[in-house]
Structure 1
């Protein structure tokens, strides 16, 4: 009996020592890989990375964090079959990460990274548009919440357009996927805009941001811009494929089957409005039906579009309580006023949009463009007419980097230094009349 106990103790101690040695080896290799990677010495890091994947796959997530950097380094520096090998290995590594660290490796995020890698190397991997689309589609459907890559959302929709153009997807498929992607973009934009607005409001209240908050502000601003750009790209990809000639027959055909489907009705009326089909009876039918089964701020706004009655516009703003969505409604209304030539009211609504969502700089650009287009009618002398362009430039400057090219263009149309000298009014304030009702200061020489 004593012999058996002694053997069991020896076995236990042997296993403990073996485990401790393995733990120590994993820690040492991880440290060597990490230090080499931080120094961008990926050649030195690579063998430790490969050993860690094999011998210590669950030891630390850093294996996969640095592993991605290491493999991307080799992908960039290699060509042909060698490069393809590293691409396939990175795809495999994402699977390993999701298997070994599932709780911190969301499927939507890491599967979409795999799909993006496949798209970027589509020809070399021998994949079709359908293959890569199916990859993105599976990732999106498995975990939409963590599918947050602006670039991948754009590629996902671009592939849908390609499949539609080749006859492999229907118009309804195309429009449904557009709505899926557009709604996801809006969701991500709203999240980042909310975070950014909190920091902007803190600054505006006179409280200095910490270094970390300043970094977050830069990050959230970049994300808002990225998703704005992706939305523009997605709209460009859709192009004229969604026009009244295509949309109206499609919605007429599917209306009866979907007239109690609030999501379908919402998407249909949004698309008809966006594509300028609001004069068609089908738009009116869908809006009224949506208002019957699920009245909300958007149906009130479209009733305003149909009737032109201010009460519906006021009701729209009363019904919407979400600041981001309300800002979008004000922006939409402002743009309609601008198109109709009601610049004073358009400015008022653009300003309301800015108050609710200061991270969106587009209202500044829209107001600036209205100033510029009114220069000839809102000044009493040639000099004062051209002085309106200073006002436009000042407004465009509030849009930051997005407004820089407009600032340059507007300033080029304003009075020159020699004209200011001849006029003798440097540093003076000029009152701009008509709907603008603002003053602008002549630059000092």
Structure 2
């Protein structure tokens, strides 16, 4: 059968190419052999025809490089020492050859990312230290940031510079700068996949059935978002105690005069001081004022708002919150701002205003399940205050559970958490026996106070 298939391929090739040469025949035969061996995972047998193709007819077919990658990776896994290093270097050489011969199939940035990951995976065999590992990812970040999309790679990039700091090879400011770079990059990728996911979520919310291809895209986008979310948490953990007030305050005091007009430096300093709750230090006030003066924006107005709130100037602070929201034009960033405002108002106990901002966040980013989860938690926290009797108070938990279910439906990154939250709330709602005793199955209960909604008692 293999001979027959080869003859058919030869006949087809001859019919389109009168000048068919002996070399072309050998290329077809080797391509067929390589294809058969790789599909049957006989990589050792595939190596010889692969190498012949690579040397004699490198432009013959892109499979030389896609299948060759599998063949060489198998060799790398099975070998050690110098032999393994030679195969590692040969795989990197193969990627370069693939780019040169099939530029429509490869990108320089993609190859840089593949090389960086390969060098990290085999850093011990290659004899690489932290600096060499870091430099490979740094080259990718500087030369082709658009191709630096691997969540694991982004974590390695940051983690390695922390290890370099521990070894006294870099200063703490270098770590903070790289943290900001990587977090910004992760934010860009999250925005990218969120924008792709939102239209799919909107289709589902409208009751449309997703076709197989769209459902697969949804799964892929949610997977990337979940991985980026995990990596963000891991990066914060890796940063650890380095970013605390005892380190940040003297560092920023030292550099403030030098960077007082640098909006990027000020933004990062204010953000870190705010996130690490170093806002009681007088330096924070100076940083916020300088940031707002140098580059008024949605961010600066929000920090001024928080600053005034911390000083007890609530009436003076509120306009800055509205200014911040109005100044932002990017829908996803505006959604994030709305979430930030909602959380701030929730902490103040202003649940009604907080829900408005969480709902605004959802209008701008329908796949933001965290907004639904925040609303669910506020409903649950208000159960004792928003019912007329014990039954209606506990009925509030049905609203909370329904909102938590929405969170898991639209946002795969928190689906497990949302389902547990919903189950917990359902466990606090009236039981079937209580509904039976009350005899109100199917009735609509109005929930008062700030919630202002109705809930239907389940029929039993």
Separation in 2 of the partners of 1:166 and 1:270? Answer: 27
Does structure 2 conserve the Cα–Cα contact (< 8 Å) formed by 1:111 and 1:139?
Answer: yes
Counterpart of 2:30 in structure 1 is 29
The structural deviation recorded for 1:129 is 2.5
Counterpart of 1:3 in structure 2 is none
Separation in 1 of the partners of 2:323 and 2:118? Answer: 48
The structural deviation recorded for 1:144 is 1.0
Is 1:127 the counterpart of 2:128? The answer is yes
Is 1:417 the counterpart of 2:432? The answer is yes
Q: Where do 1:264-343 residues align within 5 Å?
A: 264-308=265-309, 309-343=317-351
Is 1:347 the counterpart of 2:350? The answer is no
Root-mean-square deviation (CA, aligned residues, Å) is: 2.9
Q: CA separation of 1:73/1:305 partners in 2, compared to 1, >3 Å: closer, same or farther?
A: same
The structural deviation recorded for 1:283 is 2.5
Does structure 2 conserve the Cα–Cα contact (< 8 Å) formed by 1:109 and 1:148?
Answer: no
Point out the more displaced range, 432-441 or 328-337: 432-441
The structural deviation recorded for 1:224 is 2.3
The structural deviation recorded for 1:91 is 4.1
Separation in 2 of the partners of 1:215 and 1:258? Answer: 47
Q: Where do 1:17-416 residues align within 5 Å?
A: 20-38=21-39, 40=41, 42-73=43-74, 78=78, 80-81=80-81, 87=88, 89-101=90-102, 104-202=105-203, 204=205, 211-308=212-309, 309-400=317-408, 401-402=415-416, 403-416=418-431
Counterpart of 1:427 in structure 2 is 442
Q: CA separation of 1:423/1:304 partners in 2, compared to 1, >3 Å: closer, same or farther?
A: same
The structural deviation recorded for 1:434 is 2.6
Point out the more displaced range, 118-127 or 172-181: 118-127
Separation in 2 of the partners of 1:259 and 1:423? Answer: 66
Number of aligned positions between the proteins: 429
Does structure 1 conserve the Cα–Cα contact (< 8 Å) formed by 2:113 and 2:147?
Answer: no
1:359-392, CA deviations, whole angstroms, 9 ceiling, x for partnerless residues?
2211112222222233333334333333333222
Separation in 1 of the partners of 2:250 and 2:265? Answer: 15
Point out the more displaced range, 101-110 or 192-201: 101-110
Does structure 2 conserve the Cα–Cα contact (< 8 Å) formed by 1:327 and 1:352?
Answer: yes
Does structure 2 conserve the Cα–Cα contact (< 8 Å) formed by 1:106 and 1:143?
Answer: no
| SS of equivalent to 2:385 | coil
Point out the more displaced range, 310-319 or 404-413: 404-413
User: Gapped runs of 5+ residues in structure 2?
Assistant: 1-16, 310-316, 409-414
Q: CA separation of 1:204/1:397 partners in 2, compared to 1, >3 Å: closer, same or farther?
A: closer
Does structure 2 conserve the Cα–Cα contact (< 8 Å) formed by 1:107 and 1:139?
Answer: no
Separation in 1 of the partners of 2:76 and 2:436? Answer: 61
The structural deviation recorded for 1:187 is 0.8
Separation in 1 of the partners of 2:191 and 2:250? Answer: 33
1:231-250, CA deviations, whole angstroms, 9 ceiling, x for partnerless residues?
22222222332122221211
Does structure 2 conserve the Cα–Cα contact (< 8 Å) formed by 1:365 and 1:399?
Answer: yes
The structural deviation recorded for 1:130 is 2.6
Separation in 2 of the partners of 1:150 and 1:389? Answer: 37
Point out the more displaced range, 315-324 or 46-55: 46-55
Does structure 2 conserve the Cα–Cα contact (< 8 Å) formed by 1:262 and 1:293?
Answer: yes
User: Gapped runs of 5+ residues in structure 1?
Assistant: 1-15
1:99-120, CA deviations, whole angstroms, 9 ceiling, x for partnerless residues?
5445643343322222223323
Does structure 1 conserve the Cα–Cα contact (< 8 Å) formed by 2:278 and 2:284?
Answer: yes
Separation in 2 of the partners of 1:125 and 1:412? Answer: 56
Q: CA separation of 1:177/1:101 partners in 2, compared to 1, >3 Å: closer, same or farther?
A: farther
Q: CA separation of 1:60/1:257 partners in 2, compared to 1, >3 Å: closer, same or farther?
A: farther
| SS of equivalent to 2:446 | strand
Q: TM-score, normalised by structure 1?
A: 0.86
| SS of equivalent to 2:455 | strand
Q: CA separation of 1:421/1:55 partners in 2, compared to 1, >3 Å: closer, same or farther?
A: farther
Counterpart of 2:14 in structure 1 is none
